[in-house]
Structure 1
Amino acid sequence: MNESADGIPAAQEWRPDILGEGFEQLTMPLPGGSVATLVRYVPPEPHPRGPAPAADSGSPDAVPADVLYVHGWSDYFFQTELARYWAGRGARFFAVDLHNYGRSLRPGQEPGFTRSLAEYDPDLEAALLAMGQDRPDAAPLILLGHSTGGLTLATWVYRHPGRAAALILNSPWLEFQATELARRVMSPLVSLQAQRRPRTLFPPVDQGIYTRTVSAAFGGEWHYNTDWRPVRGFPVTVAFLDAVFSAQATVADGLRLEVPVLVLLSDKSYLHPRWSEAAERADVALDVNVVAHRALSLGSAVSVVRIANAMHDVFLSAPAVRAQAYAAITRWSSGYLRVPPQSGRTRSSLTPPG
């Protein structure tokens, strides 16, 4: 394998991905010996019709952009329908499995372990470089994150102004479920423990309710790798929770993002330890009302859309529910991300109104 000027091994070649036709993956070595994995969707011609009508670059509904998706905690990318939706709208779709997650998880590594969400900056930079975002004629960048991935991207955009054209957050973990006050009380103790014993584990609290709502093995709709997305999630370390608390505190202080932001949330939560069919129509991980309020701290152009009966990953909800989510993105992008007449795929192709 070749090395770059800074001694980091060069990325491997694109090769077929586990998701099947049209999906390819690229292994991206990172400093320290870890890797991140970029997945792209290259649709057959013509584009298959997805949840929304296909749009070429000349259509008013087209979004000639690069979309980069970042998964949440105990997760990886497998949402093929989401990729096809964006391809159908004229965008190039990519997703990254962060280091210590999914396709990037290697033997002997601690799943999901991190001391700071900023530790994913090299993963994102490697992905953006592989996407061609360093070129002067690069397409506008839309970042799309789920849960912890949404929190990661929100703070990344805050620390890297001018890089992204828009931010879409799918049930982002912007605030602690037990409210801001509980986070503020707990945070100093968690931070101290993270410095002393970062790998200390919290008692498991995930009863597998979310998996039961999603996995085809338990009556849900979706098939996925349970080594990469365990039934009860990864063990939660004190270092990880400290990283989340720190990022949530940054959001609470106000990010003042200058890009348009769309936040998709369920209309209700189900935060109970016992199974109920109500869990199939609610967010079982977050207090969506708390997150909706905290979303207002992101910037001056934040749209919060509550999707009736959506689950924690809105795009894994029932077909009719996720169709509402795709329609919401289409409406929002048509209003906030205009395509100037006869424009090419350049950074200025998407123009917010105003």
Structure 2
Amino acid sequence: MADSHAWTTDILGKPFEQLTLPLGQDAEGEVVATLVRSRPRGSALKPLADVDVLYVHGWSDYFFQTDLARFWNRLGARFHALDLRKYGRSIRPGQTPGYIASLDEYDADIAAALDAIRAHHRGPARRLVLMGHSTGGLTLSLWAARHPGEAAAVVLNSPWLELQTGAIGRQAIAPLVAARARFDPLGSHPIVDLGYYTRAQRELGTLPDSPEGWRPERGFPTHPGWLAAVMAGHARVAGGLGIDAQTLVMLSTGYTSPMQWSDAMVRTDSVLVVDDIARAATRLGPRVAIDRIPDAIHDIFLSAPDARGRAFARLSDWLQNGALA
């Protein structure tokens, strides 16, 4: 169990604190995850006073969305964000950023985070809400399916539930990707991120400067072993997960191809084909709500003010008048 006395002030400044979670060693050396938290003040009478939130970021990302944390704190919830191994605060020298051979390996990161969240708690049982963005949404969906009864609710912000080629394309290339992953897991892939999603966030003013290497303009390099792990996750979603918790999937109403810059990228998702994700979301479980947000980008909560405001209002309504009422 993590040492609760090792919390220190986070790079985001007060009230954010961080805790390093040791996860042992792998072929690239020391492996850690990092938990960031912000706690509400005077939350006893607030609607989500008995809720702990665990947020997981997407690919080539880390936690910096302070407005999201404040949203949960205003409702009384304790907010926690996990920088997974080899991402953001958890990257160590010599490591392959973001690399994983199976999304199930993140069970250790999540278990360590939950241990830290629950350390020394002696009061009534608290409810857990999982919140994941993009690849983090896929990771938490798979985890929730393998751990029934753990989460009271699951909130997915543009979760990466299907490959951009669609199900037919994924099934066609899966054997080739799996074969290469076996003999060349850390091989190189062509760079397909042209940096337009980052540009969209810069134009919107919702992306702060990041520490060196934490969030590259064109994303981390990708590798066959990692892609095979993600595609295996997609296949499991397509087969049906049966998540028992109430689940909210939030998506933009529109998609723009990322092959060349378009002004539409500041009001649409330019990373995932959102209609394919909406279809895949119906396979998550029996209690899924899908909410499409007009003019939202890939990270719904980094969209322009009107879209972001709608998203927060809809999430608040879902939490207080249904999922956690």
Structure 2 stretches lacking a partner, 5+ long: none
* More strand per residue: 2
SS in 2 for 1:73: coil
Shift of residue 319 of structure 1?
Answer: 1.3
Aligned counterpart in structure 1 of residue 20 of structure 2, from 17, 27, 50: 27
Shift of residue 12 of structure 1?
Answer: 6.9
Shift of residue 10 of structure 1?
Answer: 5.9
Q: CA RMSD in A?
A: 1.8
- Conserved? CA contact 1:296–1:302, under 8 Å: yes
SS in 1 for 2:286: coil
Equivalent residue, structure 2, for 1:279: 265
Shift of residue 116 of structure 1?
Answer: 0.7
Does residue 153 (structure 1) correspond to residue 153 (structure 2)? The answer is: no
What amino acid sits opposite 1:332 in the alignment?
Answer: W
What amino acid sits opposite 1:251 in the alignment?
Answer: V
Rounded Cα–Cα distance in structure 2 between residues aligned with 1:41 and 1:189:
44
Rounded Cα–Cα distance in structure 1 between residues aligned with 2:143 and 2:283:
15
- Conserved? CA contact 2:17–2:38, under 8 Å: yes
Rounded Cα–Cα distance in structure 2 between residues aligned with 1:253 and 1:211:
33
Aligned counterpart in structure 2 of residue 239 of structure 1, from 221, 225, 249: 225
What amino acid sits opposite 2:207 in the alignment?
Answer: W
Rounded Cα–Cα distance in structure 2 between residues aligned with 1:138 and 1:108:
41
Structure 1 stretches lacking a partner, 5+ long: 47-55, 340-354
Rounded Cα–Cα distance in structure 1 between residues aligned with 2:204 and 2:295:
17
Rounded Cα–Cα distance in structure 2 between residues aligned with 1:292 and 1:107:
38
What is the CA deviation profile of residues 331-353 of structure 1, one whole-angstrom value per residue up to 9, with x for unaligned ones?
111232345xxxxxxxxxxxxxx
Equivalent residue, structure 2, for 1:202: 189
- Conserved? CA contact 1:269–1:287, under 8 Å: yes
Rounded Cα–Cα distance in structure 2 between residues aligned with 1:134 and 1:303:
35
What amino acid sits opposite 2:37 in the alignment?
Answer: R
Equivalent residue, structure 1, for 2:6: 13
Shift of residue 321 of structure 1?
Answer: 0.8
Shift of residue 177 of structure 1?
Answer: 1.1
TM-score by length of 2: 0.94
- Conserved? CA contact 1:41–1:92, under 8 Å: yes
What amino acid sits opposite 2:199 in the alignment?
Answer: R
Equivalent residue, structure 1, for 2:277: 291
What is the CA deviation profile of residues 127-165 of structure 1, one whole-angstrom value per residue up to 9, with x for unaligned ones?
000000796733100000000000000000111111111
Does residue 162 (structure 1) correspond to residue 149 (structure 2)? The answer is: yes
Aligned counterpart in structure 1 of residue 312 of structure 2, from 322, 326, 348: 326
Pair 277,300 (structure 1): closer, same or farther in 2 beyond 3 Å? same
Equivalent residue, structure 1, for 2:58: 72
Pair 168,133 (structure 1): closer, same or farther in 2 beyond 3 Å? farther
Rounded Cα–Cα distance in structure 2 between residues aligned with 1:222 and 1:109:
25
- Conserved? CA contact 2:39–2:77, under 8 Å: no
Equivalent residue, structure 2, for 1:349: none
SS in 2 for 1:312: coil
Pair 289,332 (structure 1): closer, same or farther in 2 beyond 3 Å? same
Pair 234,338 (structure 1): closer, same or farther in 2 beyond 3 Å? closer
Aligned counterpart in structure 1 of residue 180 of structure 2, from 179, 190, 193: 193
- Conserved? CA contact 2:100–2:225, under 8 Å: yes
- Conserved? CA contact 1:11–1:27, under 8 Å: no
Equivalent residue, structure 1, for 2:170: 183
Equivalent residue, structure 2, for 1:223: 208
- Conserved? CA contact 2:88–2:215, under 8 Å: yes
SS in 2 for 1:251: helix
What amino acid sits opposite 2:23 in the alignment?
Answer: L
* More helix per residue: 2
Equivalent residue, structure 2, for 1:121: 107
What amino acid sits opposite 2:10 in the alignment?
Answer: D
Pair 209,12 (structure 1): closer, same or farther in 2 beyond 3 Å? farther
Shift of residue 173 of structure 1?
Answer: 0.3
Equivalent residue, structure 2, for 1:53: none
SS in 2 for 1:291: helix
Shift of residue 58 of structure 1?
Answer: 3.5
Shift of residue 200 of structure 1?
Answer: 1.1
- Conserved? CA contact 2:204–2:266, under 8 Å: no
TM-score by length of 1: 0.86
- Conserved? CA contact 1:78–1:224, under 8 Å: no
Does residue 110 (structure 1) correspond to residue 107 (structure 2)? The answer is: no
Does residue 172 (structure 1) correspond to residue 167 (structure 2)? The answer is: no
Rounded Cα–Cα distance in structure 2 between residues aligned with 1:180 and 1:219:
32
Pair 257,294 (structure 1): closer, same or farther in 2 beyond 3 Å? same
What amino acid sits opposite 1:174 in the alignment?
Answer: L
Equivalent residue, structure 2, for 1:211: 198
- Conserved? CA contact 2:56–2:132, under 8 Å: yes
Pair 134,336 (structure 1): closer, same or farther in 2 beyond 3 Å? farther
Percent identity of equivalent pairs: 48
What is the CA deviation profile of residues 167-205 of structure 1, one whole-angstrom value per residue up to 9, with x for unaligned ones?
000000000111100000111110111011001111001
Rounded Cα–Cα distance in structure 2 between residues aligned with 1:250 and 1:65:
29
- Conserved? CA contact 2:258–2:271, under 8 Å: no
